[in-house]
Structure 1
Amino acid sequence: MILTINGGSSSIKFALFEVDNSPEKVCYGQLTRVGTTGTRFTVNSDATSLPVTATTYKGAIDFLVEWLEQNITFSDVKAIGHRIVHGMQHTEPSLIDAELLKDLKNIGAYDPDHLPFEILLIEGFKKNHAEISQFACFDTDFHKDMPQVAKLLPIPRRFDRSGIHRYGFHGLSYHYLMQELEHLAGRQIADGRIIITHLGNGASLAAIKHGKSVDTSMGFTPDSGVPMSTRTGDLDPGVAWFMIKSEQLTPKQFNHLISSESGLLGISETSGDMHDLLELEATDIRAAEAVSLFCYQVKKWIGSFAAALGGLDTLIFTGGIGENAPSIRARICEGLGFLGVELNDERNQKNAHFISAANGVSVRVMHTDEEMMIAKLVCDRMDLTTTQKQNTKDIHHA
């Protein structure tokens, strides 16, 4: 068995995979509203969620470890794979040892909304099950070979030498979707000019050509790019300076403002949840403007990425909004006929897999599975580790 852990700032997802020739998911679940009151726990597709008394992230981890110990056989778990959003110089799936854990702690300030919680998860499982190898799977891996021009930030070079450049995120999702696209449509389609829109509470887009990331909307942190549920997306530095100065914000307060109080929530002043905003938009102009801004910005990124790719062959929608909100997909695609994007309204309303009209750009709705991608990467990494150990034994024997 392989256990995967996908820790966010307010949620923890897990999945258990049985491994034979390829991973097969046998159990999954998630904790939501972690770190606040009203934490809930769901398992598999059961619509009934269980209340959790823990009000801290550490308490939620303790709850999850205890539940897993009662419901799975840990002696069968050969590895635990973690989604790590930001790793700076680390990109490839890696065994988590003391040195890697130290590096992650040292860069915690670069991604304060994810890394500290991911480290708590690693340490929580290490405390209770030190005998199980843990692996880090980095969201930045998929984008590591982006062209230099897409990585550079227009700031003094000394910052670039310190590792301050555009990294890109949601890489595990993009990696999984590209594998699925090749499986469904063939290598030729997967090698084409592709834009994937990963639209959920966190949202980003990626421009992909010949199976490689050419550009992506998120940059040095996951707060950049398109407006998100509570994150600003790209922000004029002058606005940041004015906000800090006028409200006398500390760095921590400013980060909370742009990552937890902004985006759709900041504009609507009611909710950062797209489902809520769609219900409110007919009677609340602020909700309507939040929805409109989101669709407008995603549309602009699609246009700019089509230019970077030299055209567009396939457009993919994924994530909670991308997979389940037909009206959002329709508004984003409206006016993109000049790129060859035209939807089949009936299929779009049904959330069908293939939603484009007969001719033109192929528009698809695809379910992403970051946990499956983590399991696959850990399997590959374990095989490599086993091979390396065997090679070392052979050398010593010789």
Structure 2
Amino acid sequence: MKVLVFNCGSSTLKFQLVEVSPLGAAGPKTRSLARGLVDRIGENATCSFARGGGEPHREPVAIDDHEQAVEEVLGWLARGWDGAQMELDAVGHRVVHGGDRFRTSVLIDDEVVAALDELSALAPLHNPACVSAIRAARETLGASMPMVAAFDTSFHHTVPDHAATYAIPYELVLRHKIRRYGFHGLAHRYLALRYAELTQRPEDEVDIITLHLGNGCSATAIRGGRSVETSMGFTPLEGLVMGTRSGDLDPAIIGFLSRKERLSVAEVEALLNERSGLLGVSGRSKDMRELLQRAPSDARSRLAVEIFCHRARKYVGAYLAVLGGANALIFSGGIGENSPEVRAQICAGMDWCGLRLDPELNQSRIGTEGLISPATAKLPAYVIPVDEERVIALETERLVVESR
């Protein structure tokens, strides 16, 4: 089955054509046929695309919104790249927030689209773009093309109530459906799947801690292949320090800043989402690479890096307690995959739990998959680049086959 996957960001559209073929008891096998990215939608947009593992071709495009981006991608498929037309059997869409309603991936129909519209208030930067992409794909390809919505929040619906419920008046929890939804679920789900493949163990025997570190950051404790605790909460603002987001903080700070700085609640929320994190502490940049370069001579850049690593280390320790020990620690995301310095700082002083890095392996592991600990480490660490589109393709294939 050829599955076209759309992965919408607030101003981007990643896409990948994935061939999913059955592989008996071992499960389905996937192969990437083509992939690409429409970047800076609405402002000097560009598109890059590549067939298989080939070099990407880049070109400027006039695209104002996600609907136009989807139409362009489908047009390229219809015309064919390099003179070879590509057919597809189904379409999978990443949707950031499924709320309390969507606990698993679902086949898309009119009722699902209407429900996703209602959920846009929970993820105003991302869900509207996802819904626009879905509408454009349905309009262009027609009702006969099966489509699936895969949710970033679904993987975390296995988090138990005692970990997902906030200690506020319970009637408010029920009335407003407030809970720890968690995010980056497709990424964490992929890490569990890929770790099981790498170590040749059943997925239900995977007990790992995953650190997905990029501009947005999250940690997840996975027991038996299922999420049992995660750092992001009701929104993606909670948890680890991020590029521009504060992560955890005393809730009273919101009221304090509102009074002292004469800010509305919305303005404080914007400050915590857009002007905090690495950018807020350093006063210079949200880019970890730049901060690491400045850290030796700039105290605030150094402090930002130290806070970032300390918070991540604290979550690793907490999740070891939640799991009662783990098979491995997994790093992913732009920082996790490409910054040996950050990985080393996070793992420093963790010998007590068997977590040690091999300095040479760690230093050489840049954007590639593999072990970064000594072979004898009791708690080994790995780098695993994330492929969310593969998870979405597998979910799409499963639901389409089950619906026949």
Normalised to the residue count of structure 2, the TM-score between the two structures is 0.88
Equivalent residue for 2:346, pick from 314, 322, 332: 332
For residue 3 of structure 2, what is the aligned residue in structure 1? 2
Amino acid aligned to 1:146: V
How big is the shift at 1:196?
A: 0.8
Deviations 1:321-372 (A, max 9, x none): 1111111100000011111111110011111611112232111111221000
Equivalent residue for 2:371, pick from 354, 374, 382: 354
Mapped pair 1:241 → 2:255: yes
Mapped pair 1:30 → 2:37: yes
CA RMSD of aligned residues (A): 2.4
Matches within 5 A, 1:300-339: 300-339=314-353
Equivalent residue for 1:98, pick from 107, 110, 131: 110
For residue 18 of structure 2, what is the aligned residue in structure 1? 17
C-alpha contact 2:153 2:183 (8 A) present in aligned 1: yes
Equivalent residue for 1:140, pick from 134, 146, 153: 153
Amino acid aligned to 1:179: L
How big is the shift at 1:195?
A: 0.6
Equivalent residue for 2:403, pick from 376, 385, 391: 385
Deviates more, 1:339-348 or 1:12-21: 12-21
Give the Cα separation in 2 of the matches to 1:243 and 1:379. Answer: 49
Mapped pair 1:110 → 2:128: no
Quickly say closer, same or farther: Cα 1:108–1:252, change in 2 above 3 A.
farther
C-alpha contact 2:240 2:308 (8 A) present in aligned 1: yes
Amino acid aligned to 1:384: E
SS in 2 for 1:195: strand
SS in 2 for 1:107: helix
Give the Cα separation in 1 of the matches to 2:124 and 2:148. Answer: 21
SS in 1 for 2:104: coil
Q: Could you tell me the percent identity over the aligned residues?
A: 37
Give the Cα separation in 1 of the matches to 2:327 and 2:193. Answer: 17
SS in 1 for 2:371: coil
Matches within 5 A, 1:19-58: 19-21=20-22, 22-35=29-42, 37-44=43-50, 46=55, 49-54=58-63, 56-58=65-67
Give the Cα separation in 2 of the matches to 1:346 and 1:128. Answer: 51
C-alpha contact 2:105 2:149 (8 A) present in aligned 1: yes
Deviates more, 1:324-333 or 1:233-242: 233-242
SS in 1 for 2:343: helix
Mapped pair 1:82 → 2:93: yes
Matches within 5 A, 1:153-232: 153-161=166-174, 162-187=176-201, 191-232=205-246
Deviates more, 1:160-169 or 1:46-55: 46-55
Deviates more, 1:44-53 or 1:308-317: 44-53
How big is the shift at 1:118?
A: 1.1
For residue 277 of structure 1, what is the aligned residue in structure 2? 291
How big is the shift at 1:56?
A: 4.7
Mapped pair 1:151 → 2:157: no
SS in 2 for 1:298: helix
Amino acid aligned to 1:359: A
C-alpha contact 2:294 2:301 (8 A) present in aligned 1: yes
C-alpha contact 1:32 1:40 (8 A) present in aligned 2: yes
Quickly say closer, same or farther: Cα 1:306–1:289, change in 2 above 3 A.
same
C-alpha contact 1:208 1:214 (8 A) present in aligned 2: yes
SS in 1 for 2:210: strand
C-alpha contact 1:312 1:339 (8 A) present in aligned 2: no
* Runs of 5+ unmatched residues, structure 1: 387-398
SS in 2 for 1:90: coil
How big is the shift at 1:185?
A: 0.8
Deviations 1:67-109 (A, max 9, x none): 4444368882222111111111212111111211111111211
Give the Cα separation in 1 of the matches to 2:269 and 2:64. Answer: 22
C-alpha contact 1:181 1:190 (8 A) present in aligned 2: no
Q: How many correspondences in the alignment?
A: 385
Deviations 1:34-64 (A, max 9, x none): 34x3433222363664334445555544544
C-alpha contact 2:292 2:302 (8 A) present in aligned 1: yes
Quickly say closer, same or farther: Cα 1:265–1:182, change in 2 above 3 A.
same
How big is the shift at 1:249?
A: 4.4
Normalised to the residue count of structure 1, the TM-score between the two structures is 0.89
For residue 128 of structure 1, what is the aligned residue in structure 2? 140
